[in-house]
Structure 1
Amino acid sequence: MATKFSELRERMSPEAQAMAQAKTDEMMAEMPLQELRRARELSQKAIAEVLHVSQARVSKMEKRTDMYLSTLRTHIEAMGGSLDLVANFPDGKVKISHLDEPTHV
């Protein structure tokens, strides 16, 4: 009989639980669009319907390594999220605000 993950986690020491949570947070902090969509339990077809494009077009968007911010923004919004652009400097972070124009999905 299989053991539930929640039961396994309860048997872990508090230190091991904290390490596991930190690793989960790290993995969730960065991921490609395709993995993000899957993590949100959305299909390419569902995203395509929101964006009024074909499923093939969504597939192509997810594979691109270079795209307009507006394209990325609409893709993220179709998943129910919002996009923030942040510049990281040694002395701090700055959110780029003039790109916050909302789009109509």
Structure 2
Amino acid sequence: MKDAIKMMESKMSPESVRRAHIKAEQDIMAIRLAQIREEQNIKQSDMAYFTQSSVSKIEKRKDIKLSTLIDYLDSLGMGLKIITYPKGTISEKSEKVLLSV
């Protein structure tokens, strides 16, 4: 599978590859939100501060406001940590916590 992806990427411009990776990460985040909720054994209709339809919309969105994400995770009893790091480095020493709620 990696070879197929590399082959496709080789035929795309670097900007197209970058946009495709961003879109993939957004899709993955939407899936992960639902997985986190399901792991907590919480139904969409049981989310505090949200209606079932709003939870469904949040879990399908590819772009979400940070404040909505914080409220969503808070309803699940989860926190959020955003870490910044210089691209292309592996060193954790370069990481900075931007937000922890």
TM-score norm. by structure 2 comes to 0.58
Corresponding residue to 1:60 among 57, 62, 66? 57
**Is 1:44 aligned to 2:77, yes or no?**
no
Higher CA-based Rg: 1
Amino acid at match of 1:41: N
Residue deviations 1:77-105, cap 9 Å, x none?
Answer: 000011111113324321104xx5x6xxx
Are 1:88 and 2:91 counterparts?
A: no
Name the SS of the counterpart of 1:96 in structure 2: strand
**Which ranges in structure 1 are unaligned for 5 or more consecutive residues?**
1-29
How far is 1:38 from its partner?
0.5
SS across alignment from 1:66: coil
In the TM superposition, residue 66 of structure 1 has moved relative to its aligned partner by 0.6
In structure 1, give the amino acid aligned to 2:68: T
Amino acid at match of 1:63: K
Whole-angstrom CA distance in 2 between matches of 1:59 and 1:87: 29
In the TM superposition, structure 1's runs of 4+ consecutive aligned residues that sit over 4 Å from their partners are none
Matches within 5 A, 1:24-43: 32-43=32-43
Number of residue-to-residue matches in the alignment: 67
Aligned to 1:22: none
Flag the structure with higher helix content. Answer: 2
Whole-angstrom CA distance in 2 between matches of 1:80 and 1:72: 12
- TM-score, scaled to structure 1: 0.56
Percent of counterpart pairs with the same letter? 25
Taking only aligned residues, the RMSD between alpha carbons, in angstroms, comes to 1.9
- Distance in 2, matches of 1:86 and 1:65, equals 20
- Unaligned runs of 5+ residues in structure 2 are 1-28
Partner of 1:74: 71
